[in-house]
Structure 1
Amino acid sequence: MLIRTAAAADWPAIWPIIHQIVAAGATFPYALDLNEEEARGMWLVPAPGRTVVAVDATGAVVGTANMYANRAGNGSHIASASYMVDPAHQGRGAGRALCEDSLAWARAAGFSAMVFNAVVETNVHAVRLYESLGFTVLGTVPRGFRHPENGYVGLHIMHRPL
């Protein structure tokens, strides 16, 4: 699995992944009707942040991530990131590769920790992955996410020192 910085030419491969995941409404607290222009502005973060793609052996984009300072100013020493893997390619290591890449980026950029502000508790594969990489659940916002099948579920705040 190759992880590389996303180029403008990657957007046509990134957008369908984002659209499918967001429209499903099960893992990201984004508007279900997020349009392409809004998604592009939100996902392709400017430097010093970074947006990457995961590319498989055939050269296909199978996932994407963005990473950035969680807050500005006096909170800018903590990183955050978001990951999306094409549902047709989940379970093949793209998510782990993207997360490991973001951790390496955050360390190299001088961040002292990484935090995820809103991990849906029913997204058990993501929670398990993050925990396997050293993240812990700091707390859970009860009923913080409206899941399309499970109703109101919690949103974990997860943290890992770097």
Structure 2
Amino acid sequence: MNRSGIVRGGILGLGGVGHLGVMIAKAMGHHVTMISSSDKKREEAMEHLHADAYLVSSDEAAMAEAVDSLDYILDTVPALHPLDIYISLLKAQGRMFNLFYQTALVQGRRMEGSLMGSMKDMEELLNLWTEKGLVSLIEVVNAEYVNEAFERMERNDVRYRLCLI
């Protein structure tokens, strides 16, 4: 939290889980920076999900400028990836929450993860979800579409969840 009391969070990965992270963090009043490996999801993050900032992790100058700027990072990337470049974005005592198991050297910063929260945590989240009128962004398709759906998932062409009926 900075001097103005604003919590600054980073959401790493803009997919089925990452888009929910942006929505929830914004609903909680946090300043949200979407972090991605390329610029191709910038418009989605900024225009559709209303992230406050967008950071491309392959842009060395932008990453250097963002060092020590975040109170937390929610890592929603399900694939193995380097964490050291993101850890430097955390302020002292900053936290990195990995939703998928991964280990890394933390350099004086705490990394935390959990496969699930408590019942109280879930109740608080559902109450926030209802209070703020949040809805998950999904695409509903017929079961006959399953083969094309898998092809689209492999092409990373699904925003954000694909539901078969």
TM-score interval (norm. to shorter):
under 0.3
TM-score normalised by the chain length of structure 2? 0.26
Please state which structure has a larger fraction of its residues in strand.
1
